Amino acid sequence: EALRKNTTLETIELGWNNANLASSLSLIEILFTKPSLQKLSLRWYSFDTDQIQQLGSLLKYNKTLSSLTLTDNNLGLKGAQAI
């Protein structure tokens, strides 16, 4: 709930996380609605195919993110294509 109300968040680090699909998608959707978000790090996030495809879909609509770190994720060919 606090993230939904925050209007000044610029950077967030969520790496080394092994969250389930529902919580991951909810969090990523909240973050991508923040007009102030400029940097997002999801290093070692343990994405699955559905999550990375959702992230790719959200990237199409985000106009403020200037840095996205996906280092050390096993995205595979389909994941890379989604991004």
Could you tell me if 50 and 24 are in contact, meaning their C-beta atoms sit under 8 angstroms apart?
A: no
Confidence class for position 66, pLDDT limits 50, 70, 90: very high
- CA angle 7/39/81 to nearest 5° reads 120
How confident is the model over 14-42, as pLDDT tens digits? 777 766 656 666 777 776 777 788 998 88
Tell me the sheet residues that pair with 40: 12, 68
Whole-model pTM above 0.85? no
Task: Give the largest Cα separation in the chain, rounded.
Answer: 36
Confidence class for position 67, pLDDT limits 50, 70, 90: very high
Count each helix (H run) and each strand (E run) in the chain, helices first.
Answer: 4, 3
